[in-house]
Structure 1
Amino acid sequence: MFTVAGIGELLWDVLPSEEKLGGAPINFTYHAAALGGESIPISSIGNDSRGERALDFLAAKQLDTRCISISDQLPTGFVTIELDNAGVAHYHFPDHVAWDHLLINQAAQSVTDRLDAVCFGTLAQRNRASRTTIRHYLTGLPAATKRVFDLNLRQDFYSRDLIETSLELCSILKLNEDELATLASMFGLSGNTQEQMNSLLRGHCLELVILTRGAGGSILLSDEECVSHPGTATTVVDTIGAGDSFTAAVVIGLLLQRPLAEINETASRLAAYVCSQSGAMPDIPQIYGYHSNDVKR
């Protein structure tokens, strides 16, 4: 079985009528587990009711929570979410929460040698303490571990320096079309979409660049090929977690050594299904993943 981790923010999505557990790295681990991988969330929560509910929820989803540290000083993170008329989420993050001071406990340290992939982003690096912790953890991983940088730009919690450093630490970059436009402006990328993606791929010696375009589909670009997908039609309830499910499907597909076209198709179908459900971590029917007997090494 492949072992993957998501390191960074664990938080509650506070929606108009309810709270649902989320955080991009945690969503990633949930969907990777649904696709058959052994998934490990690495984060920090507060010693409070939200933290307790988070552990109970993840355990019920059969995720290993031993790599989640508990802070007695800081509360469990949360984010207030507003949905527009198209179901697109807009986020507002409070400061000074547990994942801003991410701790790597003994359990998280002990799994480094067997990780096949790790996903991280920019949001959890908004605070110097967590930024240092995440970078130190990534540099201590085996050379063969896939390091997936999900750009995931939120509010103003990023900078050119943060992005450049993260690009040097990763082997796979995932971004959406708005984020590609931001990088094109920031780094002076020219040409069409594929040419801009290629500049990122070659300029940072990446294995793969993943671009999601909402209803416009997706592109997977490697040194060998560029595979486009037109997108999978769906009725959108909300977009929360859809990108994270797409990333998880790509990573599991790569570990399975599936063709990029099949990976793109599977990821598109899964993300479309997540958009049709409420929240980031709905139950995932097996038909949206890879054949379970193929997940074994």
Structure 2
Amino acid sequence: MPSLVLVIGEALVDEFHDGHVAGGAPFNVARSLAALRAPVRFASRIGEGDAAGRLVLDSAVKFGLDVGGIQRDAAHATGRVSVHEDAGGHRFEIHADAAWDHLQAIDTTGAGIVYFGSLAQRHAASRAAIRAAVKRVSCPRLLDLNLRPGTDTPALAAESLMLADWVKINEDELDRLLGWFEPELPALMARFALHRLVVTRGEAGYALYGEQGRQIAGGEGVAQPAFVDSVGAGDSFTAMLLAGLSLQRHLPATLALANRYAAMICGVRGPLPADPAALTPWREALHALPPEEARA
């Protein structure tokens, strides 16, 4: 049976110069999972009745994501991020004291995999709720270590790593962890008792590391000739990985598909296509992957 993926964290609105789109790494992951037909529950918090919150809810419904786990906050507005773009990429200005900073108790019933990040832990209230939920489960826990200003401290990283079994990071984040904690990958993984570490490398592809820091899978980058922006590319990779784990698909094949999926996302504005129908071929490709036992 597929495992329910519990996704915890921020839902917000990314404000581009040419329009606003719903975003937030966990929300991107959750919407992808729903569109890929992997069982998912999303736990977040938005403002009660504000325009940004309505945009979040409308997008969730459009992608088939149940909104029952999204809390409403009468005192704090839905989160906003100003996206500043230039020739070198994009820079995020994440506005403070959003509804998702005040996340309350999270329902973990039936969770088979838990996804959580570091950004949603920037405020004491949400940090307490997230850690309580993650500690309560006995299933695999995947940490998306998103080192943004304000949540890019060694202490927060270490506390989050200690709660994780799997970690997904990019190359820059890996370099920071090696500088903070251990200079070599095997020692870093041993220090935090990590089962798997996934490193995304943008145009250079990805790598999966297992016991003793040994690389057990990897792939080259996939070109995107019609590049628009890289917003959400890492989230789409993570979503496809989680979907494959949920559906018990062959892991190296899942990672290769995740790599191609992330490249596709770089060809659309924002973290997901405007029309969820664009994800149908990816859903079909996921469900056609061989089962995990075929790896033997």
Same-fold status (TM-score > 0.5): yes
Tell me which residue corresponds to 2:256. Answer: 265
Whether 1:32 and 2:33 are equivalent positions in the alignment is: yes
Partner in structure 2 of residue 100 of structure 1: 101
The TM-score with structure 1 as length reference comes to: 0.89
C-alpha deviation, 1:157, in angstroms: 2.1
What corresponds to 1:256 in structure 2? 247
Alignment partner, residue 75 of structure 2: 73
The amino acid that maps onto 1:64 is D
Residue in 2 that maps onto 1:82: 84
2:249–2:289 contact (8 Å) kept in structure 1? no
Code of the aligned partner of 1:171: D
- Other-structure match for 1:154: 148
2:227 is the counterpart of 1:233: no
Q: CA RMSD in A?
A: 2.0
Alignment of 1:32-71 (within 5 A): 32-47=33-48, 48-71=50-73
Corresponding residue for 2:15? 14
Output the TM-score relative to the length of structure 2.
0.89
Equivalent of residue 217 in structure 1, options 205, 215, 225:
205
Answering whether residue 281 of structure 2 is matched by residue 292 of structure 1, we say no
1:115 is aligned with what amino acid?
A
- Give, in whole Å, the separation in 1 of the partners of 2:94 and 2:119: 10
Single out whichever of 151-160 and 67-76 deviates more from structure 2: 151-160
2:117 pairs, out of 111, 116, 121, with 121
| AA aligned opposite 2:87 | N
| Structure 1, 25-34 or 254-263: larger mean CA deviation | 254-263
Separation (CA, whole Å) in 2 of partners of 1:296 and 1:115: 21
Residues 219 and 229 in structure 1, CA contact (< 8 A), matched pair in contact too? yes
Helix, strand or coil: the match of 2:126?
helix
Superposed displacement of residue 294, structure 1: 6.8
Structure 2 counterpart of 1:207, from 188, 195, 206: 195
Structure 1 range deviating more: 276-285 or 118-127? 276-285
Query: Using the alignment, how far apart are the partners of 2:126 and 2:222 within structure 1?
Result: 36
Q: Which amino acid letter does the alignment assign opposite residue 260 of structure 2?
A: R
| 225 and 296 in structure 1: CA distance in 2 versus 1, 3 angstrom threshold | closer
User: Which runs of 5 or more residues in structure 1 are unaligned?
Assistant: 191-195
Return closer, same or farther for 1:166/1:43 CA change in 2, 3 Å cut-off. Answer: same
Q: Could you say which residue in structure 2 is the equivalent of 1:193?
A: none
Give CA deviations for 1:6-61 in whole Å, capped at 9, x if unaligned.
Answer: 21111100001100000011111111222220222211101112112211221122
Match for residue 271 of structure 2?
280
Contact 1:256 1:294 in 2 (8 A): no
| Contact 2:181–2:188, Cα closer than 8 Å, also in 1 | no
- The equivalent residue for 1:138 is 134
